[in-house]
Chain A
């Protein structure tokens, strides 16, 4: 034991050292007491609150948007479906101070403009709750998915979310009727339409998607997801399953729709086909069309501007939003009114020499040389304007308006589509209201041949044809036959009668026979609409876009926007009508007989060719042929 080198110190510690040791012990106690108090404060006093903070850190409520309902055509073919889409969701809080950098990196992987992502961030961002994700891009392709998955570490706060995406297997076919979806807007959120929606949700913006949004949308589910500090999903804690939207079965016939679409071809215009017995919509075409799938994946700014600024307004559904002068197709209404009111009889004769003077104007008939002796039947068949100038004058504009209204013109048809137009059926009261002017009789002449102030929509004209076809009952056109909710509730839609035209049997018979012979006789203006084995009734129309006197030929050679619209309305078969149809070809540059009748012919031919067969032709129809038929 070696103690030599030790500095031997007395065991007595100096008083000064003792004091300092006491202080040291005091410091130890005070320091640990402070720490203990701090722990008590954090863990006991504020523990509950801190636990909430910790849970907010790690638990995200993720909305699981419900799949919107599937839409079938009348034969069970899928018209609107859903398919999975990989959406890029960004939670800015998880990126913390690296937000801008993350967006920049992300833009690189997606091949997007960085500014586009910033815009997507801002759009719905203001009402966003903390830690709520923003959908930056929908429907990323698989290369994008791979890029994001492999670079997750560079992209804190970015995740991929699989969400159902709207899919329209037939693209532009019936796009106007089906409509499209888009992110819910602030206005929609504020208004009643936004019930149950949160920013970023998809909502129906047009057509059926909008009109039946409540049936289609279902109820979003939710997940409680645990995430780590980088916002990456660790596990699902709890889940409330979503309720998918209800399925709709339409009255629309996809096959016929396709035939009509094909028949219209590249032309601008619309075709509407109804079942006159019920008001079921069989086809509704509007050209030019668009592809609603573009909206489903999230339309880009440039694409949207191109659609909105297109002079031809491809987003407009011409069938219900397009208003056009009906031209001679309007004569059906005038003829019915004139007969009903006794302004003309089947035997009233008028001599057409190619026009009549009235006031300071000369009102032309479309046929330069005139039709010679004309009765009502021939006036319908050959579409003599002079006869209808006279008939119109005798009926008066208010009389014309009365019957036009009874046949559904000038009023919305009541179809469940947004922004339906009513068109215009002028009368004296309307003129006073609108222009504060009295009615001039000369204007009645224009109205009598469906020009002047008269405007209609293609759907109204199809419904008019249906009303004539079914004996005078005006029905509400509808296109959803059955709605089945996710919980199994089935709603069958019943046809609805909106009003009766109150036309005498004889009046109807006269008008129908005239329409039949428009198609079925050699002299008829609509003979190009003939379908083998079926008796078709129809009426042609040519509506002038610009007044150029009698020189229609010059107008129709001129600029496209100045050319005439071609109309054709029809129903068939004559004695047991199954289909009523209206077709307009915008700026066709010629008459309805030449341009619209062949289009309708194709649709009808397809319809009757495919359906088990038409009614047998037309002994009874021949029997009721009026005696004056070829007499004048």
Chain B
């Protein structure tokens, strides 16, 4: 493979800078969320997050050195490998916080469901890139729906409602952008509306409780509604300028649940206020818009759909997570991308950035 100078001239700088900015803020906030008052130095979790960030950067670079079209060929294989890992979780998985999501690998634990987000985007991008010519009727939607439903069912059993929700919504986004005819979405809506009441009894009690609590948050301020309430108080009490780094009382006095994972945005918003939160939101907007711009400039359908899928993953997770911590959406376990503590998630997202850069750099190659 001859080195092409255009790889340099078309190198994508903005996207990784934005991603690293958010990741940096995230690691800083993980530090705040896990910092024990009176101690010096990094908390173990913050250190781990930084190590994962470093590993993620390497992975990001690894994801852009090869031509992404190779991925189109191997997309299905990658998807199957990840699916195998997901299916292996019940057998080899480690329990944590009431669910089994992690596979221990030496000193670290891997969360296969995070990789599934990547695997699904790959396989759907490949599917829609290839089915384009054959028309986009309902039949074109069957494979994507199956490809989503199988891992979703396995992950729901872990249980991890948040990841399932993300897989579903990203899959829907790709169906939409892949070009499935609109009437089928209407039909799908009807199916969901019918299926939801049927699926309700199969949810775990705490999941049902969360949805009910979202609908009536004041119903039980000390019980299930407590988390949302405390999160809203944390965000709101940051006011315009915030309480200052390491000074969030809701965070440090443990009124916030899941401070370093799902509710990390509340920690950030409490300590940096409305101004800080807006800066962070602006970074996400820039990330997502940059992704869309790269997608529209991509050379082929696979590149377009791959980048759109990756961007959609970031977009939906960010919006749903912030919506949930501010009481706009029900509490489901969805991390804030690049920001929440979690190695697998960060690694996969940075690989996604690498792939997007890959597509961007190779947009003029014919």
Chain A contact residues, CB within 8 Å of chain B: 1-3, 5-9, 11, 13-14, 16-17, 20-21, 24-25, 28-29, 31-32, 34-36, 38-40, 42-44, 46-51, 53-55, 57-58, 93, 96-97, 226-230, 234
Among A53, A228, A234, chain B packs the most CB atoms within 10 A around the CB of A53
Q: Known: A57-B250, A226-B253, A229-B254. Contact between A50 and B233, CB under 8 A?
A: yes
Asked if residues A9 and B222 are in contact (CB atoms below 8 Å), the reply is no
Q: Nearest chain-B residue to A59 (Cβ)?
A: B249
Please, how many angstroms separate the alpha-carbon atoms of A46 and B304 in the complex?
A: 42
Taking CB atoms, residues of chain B closer than 8 Å to A17 are 177, 179
Q: Does B76 contact A (CB under 8 A)?
A: no
B258-297 contact mask (Cβ, 8 Å, vs A): 1 or 0: 0000000000010001100110010011001100100010
Contact A48 B300 (CB under 8 A): no
Q: List the B side residues contacting A32 at CB < 8 Å.
A: 281, 284-285, 319
In the complex, are the beta carbons of A58 and B236 less than 8 A apart?
Answer: no
* B73 proximal to A (CB < 8 A): yes
CA distance A590 to B277 in the complex (A): 93
Shortest C-beta distance, A2 to chain B (Å), equals 7
Q: Which one of B222, B239, B308 contacts A43 once the chains associate, using CB atoms below 8 Å?
A: B239
B residues in contact with A93, CB < 8 Å: 222
Contact A36 B281 (CB under 8 A): yes
CA distance A46 to B236 in the complex (A): 7
- Report the Cα distance A405→B86, complex, angstroms: 101
List B contacts of A5 (CB < 8 A).
69, 72-73
Closest Cβ of chain B: how far from A382's Cβ, in Å? 82
CB distance from B284 to the nearest CB of A (A): 7
Q: How far is the CA of A48 from the CA of B177 in the complex (A)?
A: 43
* Complex CA distance for A55 and B240, rounded to whole angstroms: 17
Q: Which of A14, A34, A50, A54 has its CB near the most chain B CB atoms (within 10 A)? A: A54
Could you say which of B22-30, B87-95, B110-118, B321-329 contacts chain A?
B321-329
Q: Are A47 and B239 in contact (CB under 8 A)?
A: yes
Determine if B289 and A28 form an interchain contact, defined as CB atoms under 8 angstroms apart: yes
Q: Does B366 contact A3, Cβ atoms closer than 8 Å?
A: yes
Docked-complex contact A48 and B239, CB < 8 angstroms: yes
22 A-B residue pairs with CB within 8 Å:
A1-B4, A5-B72, A7-B129, A13-B304, A20-B176, A20-B177, A28-B285, A31-B319, A32-B281, A34-B328, A40-B274, A42-B235, A43-B277, A44-B239, A48-B239, A54-B234, A55-B249, A57-B250, A58-B249, A58-B253, A93-B222, A226-B253
Residues of B near A11 (CB, < 8 A) are 299
B232 adjacent to chain A (CB < 8 Å): yes
Does B277 lie within 8 Å of A51, measured CB to CB?
no
CB atoms of A96 and B222 under 8 A apart: yes
- Using C-beta atoms within 8 Å of the partner chain, give the interface range for chain B: 35 or more
**A227, closest chain B residue (CB):** B253
Check A43–B235 contact: CB distance below 8 A.
yes
CA distance A274 to B230 in the complex (A): 67
- Cβ of A227 to closest chain B Cβ, rounded Å: 7
Contact across chains for B328 and A1 when beta carbons are under 8 A apart: no
A39-B365 contact in complex given A25-B292, A28-B289, A227-B253, C-beta closer than 8 Å: no
CB contacts (< 8 Å) of A55 on chain B: these are: 237, 249
Taking CB atoms and an 8 Å cut-off, the chain B residues in 179-214 that contact chain A are 179
Assess the B365–A28 pair: CB atoms within 8 A.
no
* Chain B minimum-CB-distance residue to A53: B233
Which residue on chain B has the smallest CB distance to residue A36? B281
Closest to A57 in B: B255
A1 touches B1 (CB 8 A): yes
Chain A residue at minimal CB-CB distance from B285: A32
Does B238 have its Cβ within 8 Å of any Cβ on chain A? yes
- B250: contacting residue among A35, A36, A54, CB under 8 A: A54
Known: A7-B302, A35-B323. Contact between A50 and B67, CB under 8 A?
no
Q: A230 contacts which of B254, B299, B365 (Cβ < 8 Å)? A: B254
Chain A residues near B326: list those with CB within 8 A.
Answer: 35, 38-39, 42
In the assembled complex, the CB of B70 is this many whole angstroms from the nearest CB of chain A, namely 9
Across-interface contacts of B274 in A (CB, < 8 A):
39-40, 43-44, 47
CB neighbours of B328 from chain A (8 A):
34-35, 38
CB-nearest residue of chain B to A32: B285
Chain B, 97-120, contact with A by CB distance < 8 Å: what is the 0/1 string?
A: 000000000000000000000000
Tell me the minimal C-beta distance from B257 to chain A in angstroms: 9
CA distance A1 to B66 in the complex (A): 10
**List of B residues within 8 angstroms of A49 by Cβ:** 236
A36–B284 Cα distance when bound, in Å, is 12
Contacts of A42 in B (CB 8 A): 232, 235-236, 326-327
- Could you tell me the distance between the alpha carbons of A54 and B277 in the complex, rounded to whole angstroms? 18
Q: Give the chain B neighbours of A39 by CB distance below 8 A.
A: 235, 269, 274, 277-278, 281, 322, 326
Given the complex of chains A and B, what is the CA–CA distance between A1 and B285 in angstroms? Answer: 34
Determine the distance from Cα of A230 to Cα of B226 in the docked complex, in whole angstroms.
13
Instruction: Please report the C-alpha to C-alpha distance between residue A13 and residue B292 in the assembled complex, in whole angstroms.
Output: 14
Closest 7 CB pairs of A and B: A50-B236, A54-B237, A47-B239, A43-B274, A42-B236, A229-B254, A228-B253
For A234, the chain B residues whose CB sits under 8 A away are 37, 253
List residues of chain A with CB within 8 A of the CB of B240. Answer: 43-44, 47
CB-CB nearest in chain B for A229: B254
Interface centre among B67, B239, B315, B366 (most CB of A within 10 A): B239
Q: Is B5 on the interface with A (CB-CB < 8 A)?
A: no
- Contact with A58, one of B176, B255, B278, B288 (Cβ below 8 angstroms): B255
Does residue B132 face the partner (Cβ distance < 8 Å to A)? yes
CB pair A54 B249 closer than 8 Å: yes
What separation, in Å, do the CA atoms of A97 and B37 have in the docked complex?
A: 28
Cα A38 to Cα B235 in complex, Å, equals 10
Bound Cα distance from A336 to B35, whole angstroms = 88
Contact of A9 among B132, B173, B223, B250 (CB under 8 A): B132
Rounded to whole Å, the gap between the CB of A622 and the closest CB of chain B is 86
A23 CB to nearest chain B CB (Å):
8
For residue A22, give the distance in angstroms from its CB to the closest CB of chain B.
Answer: 10
Q: Chain A residues with Cβ under 8 A from B269's Cβ?
A: 39, 43
Name the residue of chain B whose CB is nearest to the CB of A16: B179
Q: Across the interface, which residues of A come within 8 angstroms of B216, CB to CB?
A: none
B40 within 8 A of A: no
Given the contacts A7-B129, A7-B302, A54-B237, A43 and B253 also touching, CB distance less than 8 Å:
no
- Tell me which residues across on chain A come within 8 A of B72, comparing CB atoms: 5-6
A301 vs B238: C-alpha distance when bound (angstroms): 49
- With the chains together, A235 CA to B116 CA distance in Å? 46
- Bound Cα distance from A58 to B288, whole angstroms: 38
Q: How far is the CB of B7 from chain A (nearest CB, A)?
A: 10
Q: Is the CB of A7 within 8 A of B130?
A: yes
What residues of B have a CB within 8 angstroms of the CB of A25 in the complex? 289, 292
User: B67–A2 contact, CB under 8 A?
Assistant: yes
What's the least CB distance linking B224 to chain A, in Å?
Answer: 9
Instruction: Give the shortest distance, in Å, between B286 (CB) and chain A (any CB).
Output: 10
The closest CB in chain A to the CB of B73 belongs to A5
B48 at the interface (CB under 8 A from A): no
A16 to B230 Cα, complex, angstroms: 44
**Could you say which residues of chain A place their CB within 8 Å of the CB of B234?**
54
> What's the nearest-Cβ distance from chain B to residue A152, in Å?
14
Q: Which of chain A's residues have a CB closer than 8 A to the CB of B250? A: 54, 57-58
Residue contact B232 to A21, C-beta cutoff 8 Å = no
B2 beta carbon closer than 8 Å to chain A: yes
Minimal beta-carbon separation of B322 from chain A (angstroms): 5
> Across the interface, do B235 and A50 meet the contact criterion of CB distance under 8 Å?
yes
